[in-house]
Amino acid sequence: MTPTALIWDDSLAAYRFRPGHPLNPRRLELTVELIRRLGLAGDEDRPIVAPRAATEEELLLVHTPEYVDAVRRLSAPGADPTTAAAFGLGTEDTPVVEGMHEAGLCVVGATLTAAELVMTGRVRRAFAPSGGLHHAMPARASGFCVYNDLAVAIRWIQKRYGARVLYIDYDAHHGDGVQRVFYGDPEVLTVSFHESGRYLFPGTGFVDELGEGDGYGYSVNVPLDAGTEDGSWLAAFTELVPALADAFRPDVIVLQNGCDGHVLDPLADLRATTGLFEALVGVVSDVADRHCGGRIVATGGGGYAVYAVVPRAWTLVWGALCGDAPPDAIPEDWLEAVRAESGEAVPSTLRDPPGAYAAWQGRAGVEANNARTVQEVRRKVLPLLSGWGLEF
């Protein structure tokens, strides 16, 4: 069995903006603690691999020299923040903090480590939960994201291996930064399932954002209605992802696993349960096995219910990547410690049980709207990819 690697080192928790900021690295520490406590990592088949830091040369695969210089300068102790706004920094979402350049290099390096392990064949799949910073643009920060680890890793894969990359993103927020970087590139198919930009930051990711130039047709967006639950989300995913992969024929999949679509997440309006994320990764794993030798480079992403959701969701993601269904019961000592730390009623199982949350009163309308969106995507996108010998 080819191993699946978990990319982790305690230094990755240094990507932190300020107390009370939604992007709390405690969610990463708790996820790794829970995975370890369940005995799901740390052996020959599921090694825990420490990351390396990215180089500035690697950052420049995506980011402009002016931007990298600005981030480095603003990261220094006592830096003058007056130029920060020009680079998307110094905002409520992405404040200027000491050491953010170095912390960003570590996050990008973790995702690059995952890519290296997968592309060299040392592992079949790798999961870097610290990554998934999909909003950062080439010359500015955005939405908690200073450097775009996903885009850097995809460019690195392209440069080193000449590979065709299928990028799949099911974060509640549109993966606008990754889309922007590859908007004209037919060797990267970006696919984003997210809450509609009519309701949620960054206000993009509509079906008619199809790419430009040679990349026209290689940008796919599935904006979901607010209130979308597991059934409608999974139906859209299973109808589109395998068909898109059949048309594109990727060499590797890069998968962003934001879990902020959960019903308890404070920053979005979707209504997933933790079991949905396990199911979505299962669909992607089947596609990877069929098209690219099982190769998946996976990251984390959004997820702001730090105690009640993220560790449970990403433990299930990890299990699905490994091809193992984790046991449902969470160890009592882990629960007691987390409940004491958080003061929250953290659920005692990885998977939310049926009926844990009341059905959305507008379910029928949401499902109908999502079904129409799926058909619109099929009608607009699949014919553009059908040059690969498939008929739709």
Torsion angle in degrees (nearest 10) through CA of 199, 200, 203, 204: -100
Q: Which two tokens stand for residue 201?
A: 């930051």
By the 8 A CB rule, do 155 and 177 touch?
Answer: no
Edge-first strand order for the sheet with 296-299 is 48-49, 4-7, 125-128, 296-299, 252-256, 165-169, 188-195, 219-224
Alpha-carbon distance 203 to 131, whole Å? Answer: 22
Rg (CA), the chain: 20
Q: Nearest-CA neighbor of 145 among 212, 82, 100, 79?
A: 100
Q: Which two tokens stand for residue 90?
A: 């110094």
- How does 276-310 read in b/e, with b if 16+ C-beta sit within 10 Å? bbbbbbbbbbebbeebbebbbbbbbbbbbbbbbbb
Q: Nearest-CA neighbor of 369 among 207, 175, 191?
A: 207
Which residues are tagged catalytic?
135
Taking each helix axis from N to C end, the angle separating 310-322 and 26-37, rounded to the nearest 10 degrees, works out to 50
By the 8 A CB rule, do 53 and 105 touch?
Answer: yes
By the 8 A CB rule, do 245 and 289 touch?
Answer: no
Among left, alpha and beta (phi > 0; psi -120 to 50; other), residue 133 is beta
